[in-house]
Amino acid sequence: MVTASRADLPGATPGPGPAGTIIETEALVPGLIHRMRFVAPAIARKRRAGQFILLRVDADGERIPLTIADADPNEGTLTIVWQVVGLTTSKLAQLRAGDRLLDVAGPLGLPTHIEPWGRVACVCGGIGTAPMYPIAQALRAAGNEVDTIIGARTKDLLILGGEMAQASDRVLFCTDDGSLGYHGFVSGLLDERIAAGERYGHVFAIGPVPMMKATVAVAKKHGIAATVSLNPVMVDGTGMCGGCRVTVNAETKFCCVDGPEFDGWGVDFDELQKRLASYREYERRALEAHDCRIGLGGR
C-alpha cells in the first residue's frame, strides 16, 4: 500500500503535478455522478483490477473507499468515478482541476480473481459500471469473451457505455422505465439470455445491494458461479475498525482486506443492506449542515 499526503507533495513526484493534484473533472450525470483523474504515480504503477483507494478531501473529512476505475502508469494518474450520496462525495464533486486531495492510500483490497472461463457476463447497476470497467478489461485480456449488461433507472443515468463497449465483446442496456434497451432490471435480462441458450462460465455483478442479490439469484438458479464487489462503510482499510465486516458463507469477512470481491452465492445480502441503511440518517444530517454553511458563506 502506498500513501500520499500534502506533507510530501512539493517536488515529490514526477509527471503532471505532485501527488493528489487533480488533472480533470467531469460530470457524467450533472449533480449526481462524477469522474476525476488525479496524480498518483506509485499507486498507478501497482494497481490491479478490483482494487480500491481510500481518500480524504480535507482534514475534517472522513476516509471514503472508491474503486480505481482506470489508471495510466506511464502518466502516473488514477481515474475514479463516484456518485454523490453524502457529505464527502458532495465535497469531492466541488473540486476542480488544480485542486489537491488531502491524502490517498492504495492500492487496497485483493485483485480480481481471473480465470479463462470462456464466456463471462459482467452485470452492472448504476455507478457499479465504473468498478466493472477494469474487471471487463482484465477478463478480456485473459482470453474471455465478455458480455456486459448495464442498467439504470433511465437512459440519462447510464454511464460509461462507450468505455464498456471497448472492453467488452457486446454491451446490452437496461432501463427501469424502458427509455433505452431492455425494459426491466439487469437480472431479468440475464435470466432471459441464459434461458434462451447463452452459456456463461462465470457472472460478475456490481451495483446496489438489491441488484447484486437479484443477479446472484439468477446465476445460482442456472448453476453459474458469481462474484460480487461490495462497498460497505470503511474507515481504516486495514481490517482493524471492523466497519466493513460482512458475512460470507456463514463466516465474518472484512471487505478491506478479504475483499472487496466475494463469492456471491455466500453473501448475506440482507445483513449487508441493514448495515448500510444504519448510517443514512447521519449522512443526511451531515450533508444538510454542510449545505447550510455554504449558504451562509462558509465552507
Q: Using a pLDDT cut of 70, give the percent of the chain over it.
A: 87
Judged by average pLDDT, the poorest of 77-81, 164-168, 235-239, 256-260 is 235-239
Which residues, other chains included, contact 154 with Cβ-Cβ below 8 Å and sequence gap of 6+? 175, 176, 177, 179, 180
User: How is 119-152 classified by DSSP, letter by letter?
Assistant: EEEEEEEGGGHHHHHHHHHHHHHTT-EEEEEEEE
Q: Residue 10: is its pLDDT beyond 60? A: no
pLDDT at residue number 281 = 60
Q: What is the pLDDT of residues 69-90, one digit of tens each?
A: 999 999 999 999 999 988 889 9
Name the one residue in this structure whose C-alpha cell is 448475506: 268
Mean pLDDT of 136-156: 96
Please work out, in degrees rounded to the nearest 5, the angle formed at the alpha carbon of residue 50 by the alpha carbons of 78 and 198.
Answer: 125
Which pLDDT does position 283 carry in this prediction? Answer: 58
Report which residue type is found at 59. A
pLDDT of residue 13: 45
**For residue 219, pLDDT beyond 80:** yes
Return left, alpha or beta for 250; rule: phi > 0 is left, psi -120 to 50 is alpha, else beta. left
Query: Nearest Cα to 80, choosing from 28, 37, 20?
Result: 37
Percent of the chain with pLDDT over 90: 74
> If you average pLDDT over residues 254-273, what whole number do you get?
94
Would you say 70 and 107 are in contact if contact means Cβ atoms under 8 Å apart?
no
Q: Residues 123-140: what's their mean pLDDT?
A: 95
- Ranking 29-43, 55-69, 235-249 by mean pLDDT, the lowest is 235-249
Q: What is the DSSP string of 169-222?
A: SEEEEEETTSSSSEES-HHHHHHHHHHTT---SEEEEESSHHHHHHHHHHHHHT
Give pLDDT, residue 19: 86
The mean pLDDT of 116-128, rounded to a whole number, is 96
Say which range, 6-20, 171-185, 245-259, has the weakest mean pLDDT.
Answer: 6-20
pLDDT, position 296: 42
Average pLDDT, the chain: 88
Q: 281 or 147, which is more confident?
A: 147
pLDDT category of residue 8 using cuts at 50, 70 and 90? very low
Residue 5 has pLDDT above 60, yes or no: no
